[in-house]
Structure 1
């Protein structure tokens, strides 16, 4: 089932909003200029509103695509594509997390890196 939006976390290595824009430009369509609002950067890639929040969780940057009109069905598919395009470790939730699932499942994440793909426990709270 297609998720209504996509959110992935990229390790703060050599990736910045410019590298993200280049990748999203190829995947979604041309990116508008980035607008900075406080710590947050926003742009439009094709018809998709994009939010980039550096260091959202420690050294992890949040990439939020506010649309279901992306080439990816879910966070995991997007994370795989991001890792392939950018070569940095990516984390995402294993599926749509809803509050009713409780805190226990909130810490379940998929980690995609040069080591492959694995489920991990990541306490972000």
Structure 2
């Protein structure tokens, strides 16, 4: 099972469903109100995909998007973040991929994708 997670800054209502509609089949995601946790589903490569939006991540301006499935259109968090940034035109962040549950996050670097390009940065 693949598990991708990205963080989207200042998420606009409906933006994720508009983006994912072109990436996944049979999308069922009502993100018209992004003020509370939203769960959805889709299909990719014939397999079920779970989609969850968690608003208020990292200081309230970011929404965490978790996409889980046996197969996904992206191979990594960064690939997913790149696709999201192109479609949403707002800052997107993701882990560089080497963080594991229980690791310290004080010195953790994150990929930040925005109009300045892609950079590894401290979250704050």
Unaligned runs of 5+ in 1: none
Report whether the alignment pairs 1:53 with 2:24. no
TM-score, with normalisation over the residues of structure 1? Answer: 0.81
Report whether the alignment pairs 1:8 with 2:9. no
Query: Within 2, Cα distance between the matches of 1:97 and 1:81?
Result: 21
Unaligned runs of 5+ in 2: none
Moved over 4 A (4+): none
With over 3 angstroms needed to count, the CA separation of the structure-2 counterparts of 1:24 and 1:117, relative to structure 1, is same
- 1:22 paired residue number: 18
How many aligned positions are there? Answer: 117
Render the CA deviation track for 1:70-96: whole Å, top value 9, x for unaligned. 110000000000000111110000014
Query: Within 1, Cα distance between the matches of 2:107 and 2:71?
Result: 25
Choose between structure 1 and 2: higher strand proportion: 2
With over 3 angstroms needed to count, the CA separation of the structure-2 counterparts of 1:83 and 1:33, relative to structure 1, is closer
Render the CA deviation track for 1:63-120: whole Å, top value 9, x for unaligned. 00022411100000000000001111100000142146x3157721000001000000
Choose between structure 1 and 2: higher helix proportion: 1
Kept in 2: contact 1:42–1:49 (CA 8 A): yes
